[in-house]
Amino acid sequence: MSRELQAGERVLVVDTKKRRHLVTLVEGGEFHTHAGAMKHDDLIGHPEGITVRTTKNQRLLVLRPTLGEYILEMPRGAQVIYPKDIGPILVLADVFPGARVLESGIGSGALTMAILRSIGTHGRLYGYEIRDDFSKRAQENVRAYLGDDLPFEVEVRDIYGGIDHVDLDRILLDLPEPWQVVPHAEKALRPGGILLSYLPTIGQVMRLREVLETSNFGMAETVEILQRGWHIEGQSVRPDHRMVAHTGFLTTARLLLAEEVPAEL
Ligand code: SAH
């Protein structure tokens, strides 16, 4: 990536009130906010981290968005998985460079981008998404951030009806009835492969855990991730007054071999 900002890039613009905007740079383009207008040409060719003044003499800071910032600001169809959960998901599901991964649904593509970064160019990501419009939006979001040359394909289909891919290392689910996927996942994952499911309510988690109990999956675990921000300003150092108290529960399980090896006599 070039050090200088280029036309066509999506940049993060932060005003003095910490409001954030995602802006696609266009030659000759202008960006308008409450804080006044700014010319894209004042940014193109300059390094990120630059501060510019608007027509109302307000300061705007311009940076390339991190993945976490991009996820929070990008156009959304479905609810995204938040950065606080995405980091742990990658570790709990042990997504590694070169992995063959299936993700369903794709939603807005937030988790998709994190998986693609982790599997690298030698991995493979298959996406199953039931809604054509979400599939398109997600692919636009992903390509705008990571580029076009990605080991990634999306099929518009219902994963409850089955999985056509085999020998998968990981299956990551963010959909309402993951227990319907368990029998398909038993055939699609390789032994030792990991199934991870993100679920908003504990009733869904119970149902999934019950179905996992009667399957060839083992080592099941469920966690939730709490993140508390801190306000740090001079002598005022304390937790933030507000926090996101709940997003979803993360459940993982590993596919085991059905048969035990008999003990040697
Ligand atoms: N993890 C995504 C958000 C997924 S939202 C993100 O981080 O952006 C849940 C998605 O699952 C929706 O897009 C919905 O259309 C899709 N979905 C629901 N049921 C499905 C099914 N049976 N098969 C495939 N996709 C499904």
Whether residue 261 is predicted with pLDDT greater than 80 in this model: the reply is no
**Residue-range definition of the domain harbouring residue 35:** 10-65
- pLDDT category at 239 given cuts 50, 70, 90 is very high
pLDDT in the model for residue 1: 65
Q: Tens digit of pLDDT for each residue in 131-177?
A: 999 999 999 999 999 999 999 999 999 999 999 999 999 999 999 99
Six-digit token pair at 64? Answer: 């390339």
- 134 with 194, same domain: the answer is yes
Nearest residue (CA) to ligand 1, atom 22: 158
Residue 260 lies in a domain: no
Question: Residue 146: which residues within 8 A CB-CB, separation 6 or more?
Answer: 113, 116, 117
Amino acid at 184: H
Supply the pTM of this predicted model.
0.94
CATH code, domain carrying 73: 3.40.50.150
Residue 51 CB: number of other CB atoms within 10 A? 9
Number of domains making up the chain: 2
Residue 203 lies in a domain: yes
Q: Tens digit of pLDDT for each residue in 52-105?
A: 999 999 999 999 999 999 999 988 878 899 999 999 999 999 999 999 999 999
**DSSP 3-state assignment of 30?**
strand
Tell me how many degrees the CA angle 243-246-252 measures, rounded to the nearest 5: 135
Question: Residue 14: which residues within 8 A CB-CB, separation 6 or more?
Answer: 20, 21, 60, 61, 62, 63
- 192 with 142, same domain: the answer is yes
Number of the ligand 1 atom closest to the C-alpha atom of 134: 13
Helix, strand, coil abundance in the chain, percent, nearest 5: 25, 30, 40
Q: Tens digit of pLDDT for each residue in 112-133?
A: 999 999 999 999 999 999 999 9
- pLDDT category at 265 given cuts 50, 70, 90 is low
CATH code, domain carrying 49: 3.10.330.20
Nearest residue (CA) to ligand 1, atom 17: 105
Rounded CA-CA distance 182/212 in Å is 7
Rounded CA-CA distance 68/44 in Å is 23
**Ligand 1 centroid from CA 179, angstroms:** 14
- With a Cβ cut-off of 6 Å, ligand 1 is lined by 78-81, 104-105, 107-111, 128-131, 134, 158-160, 174-175
Q: Tens digit of pLDDT for each residue in 37-50?
A: 999 999 999 999 99
Residue 230 lies in a domain: yes
**106: β partners:** none
Continuous H helices in the chain = 67-73, 83-92, 110-119, 132-146, 182-188, 202-213
Last residue of a domain, one of 41, 65, 89: 65
**Ligand 1 centroid from CA 163, angstroms:** 15
Residue 208 lies in a domain: yes
Residue 56 lies in a domain: yes
**Ligand 1 centroid from CA 65, angstroms:** 25
